Chains A and B, each alone.
Chain A
């Protein structure tokens, strides 16, 4: 049915000049809507890591974030016919992921219990599987990242979303405006205020 390894050869055909032709996201989506499931695999491969970074920085839990990304891709499969080429595909996909992440974030706030995934057998905080830093510089960088992530977590929801989309996902203002459905002026204003608030939080965490 769907073969992960054969997807690349079928999705990057050669054009008349014999050069590799890479389909855009919208073209892949059009192919998927017509029934080409290899196009779906290619879209999953393109966006899974990006979405995971966004959701992980939003939720703070790796396993739950991966589940949310899975749910997003399942929704993409189920609701492919709802996509219209009026909006960018990435905007549509980020909107689905953001809504699922928001739902989980609100549930988490209500629960306020320690998830089992956050505790290892030694009762130490759970670390995401990553390469161990070798140098002092990498350790410093790792600590800085954790502090920034914690500071972002303390921000109000509307500031957190824009900061993640702009400064971590590096999306343009127009796309952020479409995802969160506010005017571009409001996006810029929120990003500015979020950055100022983030500085205040970082000051507290670093002292």
Chain B
């Protein structure tokens, strides 16, 4: 055990809370070092003097002064004033932010679910129509074909337009 470890254990030793193994090392160190023993003895004496030190008492009119102060200064004891529904302003603001966030998230979720519901309803309505009116499905198919055809035509036109026009660039001349 070195001096540093020894000094760290002085209070535990005096309180009686030092582990048994450390206690043996501590006492062996004290036996070898008279200064260390004197230090422990001095600290023990000082603690005892502090425990037994002169205790002061309040003046006889302490209570009287206190009660007249409470009465005359109009000191009122009551529940905390600066609370909102029992919460301090700090916690009230955190709680209100959480409530707002909850409502925003909930409204977003509700909107999403409503959109998906409307899609489902449209599909169901279309299916019902097809079942009840077979010509309706043919009409839909025709419309789809027209859309596809128009797409193809527009694609061809686009390709033609994109073809480079080299007619003005190179001309072969037969002599």
Contacts and interface: CB of A to CB of B under 8 A. Distances in A.
Interface of A: 1-2, 4, 41, 44-45, 48-49, 52-53, 56, 62, 65-66, 69-70, 73-74, 77-82, 128, 130, 141-142, 144-145, 148-149, 163, 167-168, 170, 188-189, 191-192, 195-196, 198-199, 202
A128 B58 CA distance: 11
Interface residues on B, range: 35 or more
Nearest to B71: A1
B41 to A, nearest CB: 10
Nearest to A41: B63
Nearest to B47: A167
A130 B10 CA distance: 35
A97 B152 CA distance: 90
Contact of B53 (A41, A130, A148, A199): A148
B56 A192 contact: no
B50 interface: yes
Given A70-B69, A130-B56, A199-B39, 4 more contacts: A48-B58, A66-B59, A145-B54, A192-B7
Interface stretch (B72-80, B91-99, B123-131): B72-80
Contacts of B67: 1-2, 4
Contacts of A141: 54
B46 A128 contact: no
Contacts, number: 100
Interface string B51-91: 10111111100111111011100011111100000000000
B contact face: mostly helix, strand, loop, or mixed? helix
15 contacts: A2-B67, A4-B63, A49-B56, A49-B58, A53-B55, A65-B56, A66-B59, A74-B75, A77-B75, A130-B54, A188-B12, A195-B46, A196-B43, A199-B39, A202-B46
A168 B80 CA distance: 34
Q: What are the nearest 4 A-B pairs in CB distance? A: A192-B11, A167-B50, A81-B79, A145-B53
B150 interface: no
B10 A56 contact: no
Contacts of A202: 42, 46
Contacts of B63: 4, 41, 44-45, 48
A78 B58 contact: no
Interface string B1-13: 0000001101110
B49 interface: yes
